[in-house]
């Protein structure tokens, strides 16, 4: 595995043989102690955090606890050739925040498990932790514990606990025929950003600001926590999930869970950012790729047509575009309305860890 490169001028004070200090020089217990000193004192619903054999979480009375876990593996979920430690620290928590957002939850405390190569430089680890804790602070999430082990490949696992909404969590199994289908934000940006980072898409097709936008959407996706909580509180959303594997695949998960339903999407309604639309217009990519690329971490949800005015108000209140892209039907497949004609969305179905 290539060793992560620290930023110029930020090298460690020196470890073995005068080389940059590594996690092997720091040691497991040295890392834990260094991390513990950086954390605020456990408080509120978390009386005991890092330092004991287990954390003590005493959630307030409510509708229960939500828990989600995501694992990130080098060369599978990220590539250190174009992913900085800070970007990875941000994203490894953001993808879990997105899962809780999809059920309308309020994040509370996280657990971080790291499998680290011994030669990984300490400065890299410090930059990772700094970004992780900064995002955690933005969402009032406390780091409650975790684990560290030595490994040949860098692997990260984050578990996030949160409180379920007062009504009930929004599941992916509640959609009904004739429900409207919505997505937040824009679709396909992360896919385009990844292809630009991998130098598969030509950078010359975009200006520097457009490139930075698309790459940022891949490296630092927005977590729609406030939006998810607001949608859950309104009581008008029937089913919801976040888009990690692509619109087509994740909508398929929702339709299957809701009773083998189908859907028809409107090609003209799919929300694309100006940068992604520019790549599509230039023939660099196409709409099926943008719908199946994955890792947008936007929310996809279904609601009765009678809720349109309320959902439009939620979009204004949360400052997030919510676009109605289609409708649920009983045809057991996903169709796309293209120039007034329905076409099957087949072939490219989205990301699958064991097939891609």
The pTM of the full predicted model, rounded to 2 decimals, is: 0.86
- Quick check: 8 pLDDT over 60? no
pLDDT tens by residue, 115-169: 999 999 999 999 999 999 999 999 999 999 999 999 999 999 999 999 989 888 9
Is 173 part of any domain?
Answer: no
pLDDT tens by residue, 47-69: 776 665 666 777 776 778 889 99
- Quick check: 2 pLDDT over 60? no
If asked whether residues 200 and 275 sit together in one domain, one would say yes
If asked whether residues 188 and 284 sit together in one domain, one would say yes
Is 170 part of any domain?
Answer: no
Residue 3's pLDDT band (cuts 50, 70, 90): very low
Q: Mind spelling out the 3-state secondary structure of the chain?
A: CCCCCCCCCCCCCCCHHHCCCEHHHHCHHHHHHHHHHHCCCCCCCCCECECECCCECCCCCCCCEEEEEEEEEECCCECCCCCCHHHHHHHHHHHHHHHHHCCCCEEEEEEEEEEECCCCEHHHHHHHHHHHHHHHHHCCCEEEEEEEEECCCCEEEEEEEEECCCCCCCCCCCCCCCCEEEEECCCCHHHHHHHHHCCCCCHHHCCHHHHHHHHHHHHCCCCCHHHHHHHHHHCCEEEEEECCCCHHHHHHHHHHHCCCCEEEEEHHHCCCCHHHHHHHHCCCCCHHHHHHCCCCCCEEEEECHHHHHHHHHHHHHHCCCEEEEEEEECCCCEEEEECCEEEECCCCCCCCCCCC
If asked whether residues 87 and 220 sit together in one domain, one would say no
**What CATH number did the domain enclosing 157 receive?**
3.30.1330.10
If asked whether residues 271 and 323 sit together in one domain, one would say yes
pLDDT at 54: 65
If asked whether residues 157 and 188 sit together in one domain, one would say no
CA–CA separation, 289 vs 193, rounded Å? 13
Domain that holds residue 205: 180-344
Domain boundary at 135, 163, 191, which? 163
Domain boundary at 110, 133, 163, which? 163
If asked whether residues 57 and 107 sit together in one domain, one would say yes
Number of domains in the chain: 2
- Quick check: 1 pLDDT over 60? no
Is 98 part of any domain?
Answer: yes
pLDDT at 9: 33
- Quick check: 81 pLDDT over 90? yes
CB hemisphere CA count around 207 (13 angstroms):
2
If asked whether residues 35 and 125 sit together in one domain, one would say yes
Is 168 part of any domain?
Answer: no
Is 14 part of any domain?
Answer: no
If asked whether residues 102 and 194 sit together in one domain, one would say no
pLDDT at 93: 98
pLDDT tens by residue, 256-308: 999 999 999 999 999 999 999 999 999 999 999 999 999 999 999 999 999 99
**What CATH number did the domain enclosing 185 receive?**
3.90.650.10
pLDDT tens by residue, 215-238: 999 999 999 999 999 999 999 999
Is 1 part of any domain?
Answer: no
Is 186 part of any domain?
Answer: yes
- Quick check: 108 pLDDT over 70? yes
If asked whether residues 145 and 185 sit together in one domain, one would say no
pLDDT at 55: 67
pLDDT tens by residue, 16-51: 555 568 878 887 667 777 877 787 777 777 777 666
Q: Give percent of the chain with pLDDT exceeding 90.
A: 73
Domain boundary at 115, 131, 163, which? 163
If asked whether residues 150 and 184 sit together in one domain, one would say no
If asked whether residues 48 and 196 sit together in one domain, one would say no
If asked whether residues 42 and 158 sit together in one domain, one would say yes
Is 353 part of any domain?
Answer: no
């Amino acid at each position: 595995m290539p060793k992560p490169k620290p930023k110029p001028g930020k090298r460690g004070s020196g470890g073995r043989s005068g080389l940059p200090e590594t996690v092997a020089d720091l040691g497991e217990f040295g890392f834990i102690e260094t991390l513990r000193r950086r954390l605020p004192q456990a408080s509120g619903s978390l009386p005991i955090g890092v330092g004991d054999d287990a954390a003590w979480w005493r959630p307030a009375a409510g509708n229960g606890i939500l828990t989600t876990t995501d694992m990130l593996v080098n060369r599978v979920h990220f590539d250190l050739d174009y992913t900085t430690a800070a970007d990875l620290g941000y994203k490894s928590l953001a993808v879990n925040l997105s899962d809780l957002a999809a059920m309308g939850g309020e994040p509370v405390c996280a657990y971080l498990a790291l499998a680290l190569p011994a030669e990984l430089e300490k400065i890299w680890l410090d930059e990772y932790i700094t970004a992780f804790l900064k995002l955690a602070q933005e969402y009032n999430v406390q780091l409650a514990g975790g684990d560290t082990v030595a490994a040949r490949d860098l692997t990260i696992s984050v578990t996030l606990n949160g409180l379920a909404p007062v009504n009930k969590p929004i599941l992916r199994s509640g959609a009904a025929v004739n429900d409207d289908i919505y997505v937040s934000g824009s679709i396909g940006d992360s896919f385009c950003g990844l292809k630009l980072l991998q130098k598969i898409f030509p950078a010359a097709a975009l200006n520097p600001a457009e490139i930075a936008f698309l790459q940022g959407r891949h490296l630092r996706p927005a977590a729609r926590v406030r939006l998810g909580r607001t949608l859950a509180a309104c009581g008008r959303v029937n089913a919801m999930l976040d888009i990690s594997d692509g619109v087509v695949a994740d909508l398929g998960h929702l339709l299957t869970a809701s009773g083998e339903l189908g859907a028809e999407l409107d090609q003209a309604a799919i929300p694309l950012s100006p940068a992604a639309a520019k790549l599509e217009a230039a023939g660099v990519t196409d709409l099926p790729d943008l719908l199946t690329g994955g890792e947008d971490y936007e929310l996809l949800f279904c609601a009765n047509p009678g809720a349109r005015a309320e959902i439009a108000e939620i979009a204004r209140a949360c400052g997030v575009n919510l676009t109605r892209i289609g409708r649920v039907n009983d045809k057991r497949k996903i169709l796309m309305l293209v120039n007034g004609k329905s076409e099957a969305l087949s072939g490219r179905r989205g990301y699958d860890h064991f097939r891609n």
